[in-house]
């Protein structure tokens, strides 16, 4: 059976996962450069290996409250690896401390309304309960994609 490697994290005490295929690196949380007049979920810019990339707070995006600043809060650096010149974005996520291999047959669709379809992907169940898988391409709102494109163009 085919498996999918997932990185687990938490937002508002709920478990979420992202496919490892989009992850470039997981870094400690660092001080970010504030960007005026951006959406509340855009926490700022992160100097990632000489390139400024936008960072989105997943807690703020999903639940409208900031992530806690603790030792397990990380920046997950993601890339749109399908493109010729990759663009990067960071996600602030809490309790990034575990990976799992999910069987494709164990992953099911969610039953939420269309309002949530933009970024909520499938659901996986393990011995601790449900894990909501985030669709990275759909997770990044239009504003973040525009900001990322503008920053990467410079």
Per-residue pLDDT reduced to its tens digit, 24-51: 999 999 889 988 888 888 899 999 988 8
Task: State which residues form the domain around 81.
Answer: 3-153
Residues 6 or more apart in contact with residue 43 via CB below 8 angstroms: 32, 55, 56, 57, 60, 92
DSSP structural state of residue 86: -
- Helical H runs in the chain? 58-63, 136-139, 142-153
Nearest to 58 by CA among 92, 90, 26: 92
pTM for this prediction: 0.80
Write out the two tokens for 89: 């974005």
Share of the chain above pLDDT 70, in %: 71
H/E element holding 5? strand 3-11
Question: What total number of domains does the chain contain?
Answer: 1
Q: What is the pLDDT of residue 108?
A: 52
CATH number of domain containing 14: 2.40.50.180
Q: What is the pLDDT of residues 73-117, one digit of tens each?
A: 999 998 866 556 667 889 999 998 888 887 655 555 555 544 545
Bridge partner residues of 59 (DSSP) = none
Q: How confident is the model at residue 154 (pLDDT cuts 50, 70, 90)?
A: very low
Is the model's pLDDT at 126 over the cut of 90?
Answer: no
Strands (E), 60-149: 74-79, 88-103, 107-108, 120-126, 129-134
Q: What is the mean pLDDT of residues 43-70?
A: 89
pLDDT averaged over every residue in the chain:
78
């Amino acid at each position: 059976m085919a498996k999918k490697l997932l990185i687990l994290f938490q937002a508002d005490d709920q478990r979420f996962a992202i496919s490892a295929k989009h992850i470039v690196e997981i870094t400690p949380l660092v001080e970010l450069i504030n960007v005026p007049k951006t959406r509340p979920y855009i926490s700022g810019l992160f100097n990632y290996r000489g390139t400024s990339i936008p960072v989105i707070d997943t807690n703020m995006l999903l639940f409208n409250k900031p992530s806690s600043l603790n030792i397990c809060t990380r920046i997950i650096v993601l890339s749109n690896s399908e493109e010729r010149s990759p663009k990067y974005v960071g996600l602030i996520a809490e309790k990034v401390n575990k990976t799992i291999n999910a069987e494709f047959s164990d992953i099911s669709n969610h039953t939420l309304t269309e309002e949530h379809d933009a970024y909520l992907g499938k659901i996986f169940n393990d011995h601790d309960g449900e894990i909501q898988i985030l669709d990275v391409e759909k997770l990044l709102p239009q504003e973040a994609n525009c900001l990322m494109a503008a920053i990467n163009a410079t």
